[in-house]
Amino acid sequence: MDNLSKKYLRPRKIPSTACSGCGLGMNHKAVVQAIYDLGLEVEDIVWGTSIGCAGRQTFGTWKGDGFAGTHGRVYAIARGLRLVLPPEKKIILTVGDGDAFGIGLLHLIHSARSNADFTVIVNDNLGYMSTGGQYGWTTPRGSKTDSSPYGMYEQNLMSDGMDVLGVLRNAGATFLARHVSMDGQRAVESIRKGIQNRGFSLIHMVYPCPTNFGSRELGTRDTVKIYNWIKKKAAPLGEEKENTLWATGIYYDASNSRREFSESIHRNIEKIRRTGTI
């Protein structure tokens, strides 16, 4: 990551203060790699983050302009910002699963509905890990966490045939993908396509948390064990096995098929200004 780091990230914040063995850095690197592959520069991107592990560990890492929203609201801030930034400025949001699929789901759905041009990377450590490890809305059924000591028994957005990406697809998202952090170049490709979509893109990226999820569910902080546990439960789309929890790859790609939020608003304003009507 050295060269990428030097070009795009702030030495004050990288390496981050994430726990030893945390998989977030792999996701973060995939995003920065995708940016590099697209030939984008520091000034081309405004970077937003949420709270929790994913938000806090990526806040202020980007050399350019950055902001962190309150819990679950970064999508609404980003929509406001999207309306007033020039269209060529890209907005990338690195957030967590609790932020995106719990407290922020309403705002996320409205971002998809309006097809607002930003790319959301949902870094999913399978629950609320920065608060010590409570279950979230993508925690696999049966997983033990501090708030599901008997195993997680609630229905959630990734259980019983549900898929949070399906919710977002029906809400109007124009690019959706899912990966685990070990997907390497495949994940980079999806993020690249997400950034290229002039509209709402979301990449759901599961990553291992040895400190809280691993220690509670697997009974060990052994990094290799949680990495393998996730890896075994992931398979490329179309190659799913019986125990596959995360089918990886591009879930839905309707890139540039629908008018983007800000473009649509500005086009209408301009017309009203000129003609008094739309």
Q: Which residues bind other proteins (CB under 8 A)?
A: 12-13, 42-43, 46, 49, 51, 56, 59-60, 63-71, 73, 76-86, 89, 106-107, 109-110, 265, 268-269, 272-273, 276
Least separation in angstroms between CB 276 and other proteins: 8
Q: Which is nearer to other proteins, 59 or 135 (CB)?
A: 59
Q: Tell me how far apart the terminal alpha carbons of the chain are, to the nearest angstrom.
A: 49
| Sequence-distant (≥ 6) Cβ neighbours of residue 157 within 8 angstroms | 101, 137, 138, 163, 164, 167
Which residue, 10 or 232, is less far from other proteins as judged by CB?
A: 10
Pick between residue 89 and residue 258 the one whose CB is nearest to other proteins.
89
Closest distance to other proteins from the beta carbon of 94 (Å): 13
Task: Please give the backbone phi and psi of residue 246, each rounded to the nearest 5 degrees, phi first.
Answer: -125, 105
H helix intervals, 46-151:
52-58, 74-84, 97-98, 105-113
Distance between CA atoms of 175 and 197, rounded to whole angstroms? 7
Q: Find the shortest distance in angstroms from Cβ 244 to other proteins.
A: 34
Of 232 and 271, the one with the shorter C-beta distance to other proteins is: 271
Q: How far apart are CA 110 and CA 160, in angstroms?
A: 25
Question: In the bound complex, what is the minimum distance in angstroms from residue 105's beta carbon to other proteins?
Answer: 11
CB of 159 to other proteins, least distance (A): 26
Alpha carbon 234 to chain centroid, angstroms: 17
For 249: left if phi > 0, alpha if psi spans -120 to 50, otherwise beta; the answer is left
Paired residues of 164 in beta bridges: none
Classify 126 in phi/psi space as left (phi over 0), alpha (psi -120 to 50) or beta.
left
CB of 171 to other proteins, least distance (A): 11
Nearer Cβ to other proteins (3/277):
277
Q: Which residue number, 110 or 258, has a Cβ lying nearer to other proteins? A: 110
